Structure 1
Amino acid sequence: MVSLKNGSHSVLINQGELISYKENDYEFIHQKGSPGWGHSDTEMFPIIGPTEGAGYRVQVPKGNAIQDQHGLLRELVYTRDTADEKSASFSKEYKAGTVVENSKYPKKSRVPRLIWPFNFRFEKRFELLEDRLEISFIIRGDKDMPYMLGYHPAFQLRSASARVVSDNDSYSLEEVMSAGNKALQVANTDRLTLMDEREMEFATNGFGHFMLWSPVANMICVEPVTFYPYAVEQQFLHEGFMHLNEPRVEFSIALTPK
């Protein structure tokens, strides 16, 4: 467990997972054990979205890519690299062709093992500033590796009138829940605000889009993504890939409570 503190802001991180973000003792993060999702955050990499409809295969330029929903990164364990009072960093490394056991099998999946034909290193960095929490994701790997990236944090809701607001639109909790497991797409924006008893502003860099998902009225996931996976049929999921054409790429999100 890693604890960060800066003035009235505090953060708890458990093996790379953000499990608490408080400002003046007001908890913003969805707590495990509460109705809804069984996690508080995770990453979607190297693919976003379901793959069952494509036989769990994703088309890539080389090798065999067997991926379950949202990719295999979540099956790997974070290593803590650094930690001090106001920052911490974690990483996961994957060697091309390594077989990874699928924790969804057999209850929620028909494929027992996952595999990806590219090497990569994935870093997750937290920095707690005086007024916000910044989370960065750094990807290194084989040149031209295809990938998608999504960040999947969950937030507590305390009001039935909670809304998510963009520069051009507003989305009620009812609308988000009505979208079901496909999640509600918010395209072509790098900023959103969650309006509840307290507000949380989201400012991203590199992602370009958001998805909104909620299975219950007491939580919502505000997810920056590089690609909305339901824009295509599952067998064409590869159309959403970016490619690693630099030694490293970085994405970030700033969470600013109001």
Structure 2
Amino acid sequence: MSAIIILKNTLSLATINNGELVSFIVNNKEFMHSKEAPGWNASDTEMFPIIGPTKNNDYTINTTNGIAKQDQHGLLRELSYQLISKNNTTVIFEKKYVKNTLVKNAKFSHKSTQEFLFWPYDFTFRKIISLTDTSIKIDFEITSDKGMPYMFGYHPSFKLSGLGTEIIKTEEEKITLNSILNVGSAAYKVLNIDEIILIKNNTPSLKINTKNFNNFMLWTEVNNMLCIEPITQYPLLKTQKYSEKNMRISTGKELFSVTISSL
């Protein structure tokens, strides 16, 4: 497929590179973090079928279909997107996985001792990106065997001022950037909510609404970017022991959405 796809609306522009949302501009204002800037070498990615590290449990996930080997945030990111369709404002990408297929782990051997990853279930993962004048919506469709355990998270990164003054607002609390920085690599957890507002210069700048995730993680280690990540659940950072007992169970088709709106 063509690597770069540009979606256009009256006031907005989105750039997608091999399925990754690398730019979202409204009224000439960029919202996405650039992978060339300090902080993180991506603008967005997906975490599936696991969220968080797995090293403490020998990279092993226990399922009724047998064990799986997964590195941090799962094997989905190691697969390539295929373009299904596109028009001026919408594009659809897809990844397919056949159960127990070995996938080379990009983190091996400099960051991981697990050379190959695999998962004992078939799945099809669709990412649908739709642009309006002032917002961008990302829909996810995960089709799999009924009864498959899973965790799922969307991992976008947003451009900040670099001054360290931004605030994350929810219905219940205001979270400073320093609070998120102090948590470090574990990520700041915000549970049982579906909406977050990013405040810049004392003014609401960006709103994120989600469906079917119900939780967020907030992560950064720099002042110039922030990852605001909708997640199905916060990872088990100490034990890293996952099974059907502590993961969601698929009904066969699971639907999620994230809407990012300029304010």
What is residue 189 of structure 1 aligned with on the other side? 193
Matched, 1:45 2:53: no
- Residue aligning to 1:111: 114
* Equivalent pair of 2:186/2:237 in contact (CA under 8 Å): no
Instruction: Find the partner of 2:255 among 250, 254, 258.
Output: 250
User: Which ranges in structure 2 are unaligned for 5 or more consecutive residues?
Assistant: none
Deviation at 1:236, TM superposition (A): 4.2
Q: CA deviation at 1:233?
A: 2.2
User: Is the 1:58–1:238 Cα contact (8 Å) retained in structure 2?
Assistant: no
Matches within 5 A, 1:17-28: 17-28=20-31
User: Contact 2:149–2:243 at 8 Å: present in 1 too?
Assistant: no
Which amino acid counterpart does residue 192 of structure 2 have in structure 1? N
2:162 aligned with 1:164, yes or no?
no
Over the aligned positions, Cα root-mean-square deviation in angstroms equals: 1.2
Structure 1, unaligned stretches of length 5 or more? none
1:225 aligns with 2:231: yes
On the 8 A contact 1:88/1:126 being kept in 2, the answer is yes
Matches for 1:85-234 after TM superposition, within 5 Å: 85-158=88-161, 159-197=163-201, 199-230=205-236, 233-234=239-240
Separation of aligned partners in 2, 1:175 and 1:237: 31
Selected match of 1:67 from 65, 70, 91:
70
Contact 1:29–1:156 (CA<8 Å) still a contact in 2?
Answer: yes
- Counterparts of 1:108 and 1:174, CA distance in 2: 28
Q: Are residue 81 (structure 1) and residue 84 (structure 2) matched?
A: yes
Q: TM-score, normalised by structure 1?
A: 0.97
User: TM-score scaled to structure 2, two decimals?
Assistant: 0.95
Q: Deviations over 1:119-178 (max 9, x none)?
A: 000000001012210000000011111111100000010142101100000111111011
> Which residue, 28, 33, 41 being the options, matches 1:30?
33
In structure 2, what is the Cα distance between the partners aligned to 1:67 and 1:231? 15
* Larger CA deviation: 127-136 vs 145-154: 127-136
Please report how far the alpha carbon of residue 238 of structure 1 lies from its aligned counterpart in structure 2 after TM superposition.
Answer: 5.2
Q: Give me the whole-angstrom Cα distance separating, in 2, the residues matched to 1:240 and 1:49.
A: 14
- Distance across 2 between alignment mates of 1:68 and 1:96: 16
The whole-number CA distance in structure 2 between the counterparts of 1:152 and 1:237 is 23
CA distance in 1, matches of 2:231, 2:251: 19
What is the percentage of aligned positions where both structures have the same residue?
A: 39
2: distance between equivalents of 1:236 and 1:99?
20
CA distance in 1, matches of 2:198, 2:153: 18
| Cα distance in 1 for residues equivalent to 2:209 and 2:82 | 27
CA distance in 2: counterparts of 1:256 and 1:76, whole angstroms = 28
Question: For 2:56, what is the secondary structure of its paired residue?
Answer: helix
Equivalent residue number for residue 7 of structure 1? 10
Give how far 1:11 is off.
0.1
- 1:148–1:240 CA contact under 8 A, matched in 2: no
Distance 2:68 2:10 in 1: 46
Q: Is 2:43–2:157's contact at 8 Å kept on the other side of the alignment?
A: yes
Residue 244 of structure 1, CA deviation: 1.2
Partner SS state of residue 68, structure 2: coil
Q: Is the 8 A contact 2:166 2:200 kept in 1?
A: yes
Task: Give distance in 1, aligned partners of 2:236 and 2:102.
Answer: 27
